[in-house]
Amino acid sequence: MAEIILTDETFENEVLNSDKPVIVDFFATWCAPCSILAPILEEVAKDYADSVKVCKMDVDKCPVTSMAFKIESIPTLISFNNGKMTDMVVGFTGKERIVEMIGK
């Protein structure tokens, strides 16, 4: 499964109501570290397609959700399981840490 692009309107259904664990990448198109992280997340989305959803949320286009989760720096990755936040990483991170998030 490819990454899912979220909006403020689709966040609840895609993330909080998901039957799978979810990792949300809060990013912006102008953010250099976000661009470097993107192919890593694409790889994780393909490698773990059966067990996790990987979603992206552009903070410039989705201010309501970004403010609700107090996103102040990007990239920020948040993992959710059963509608609850389970882990957060602020700033660039490697594939190993993202895989660790999946396990929580």
Q: Reduced to 3 states, what is the DSSP secondary structure of residue 74?
A: coil
Of 40, 51, 38, 43, give the one whose Cα is nearest residue 5: 38
What's the rounded Cα separation, in Å, for the pair 90 and 92?
7
What's the rounded Cα separation, in Å, for the pair 18 and 21?
7
> Can you give the pTM of this predicted structure?
0.94
Catalytic residue numbers read 31, 34
Fold of domain 4-102: Glutaredoxin (3.40.30)
Confidence band (pLDDT; 50, 70, 90) for 1? low
Strand pairing of 53-58 and 22-27? parallel
pLDDT digits (tens, 9 = 90+) for 44-59: 999 999 999 999 999 9
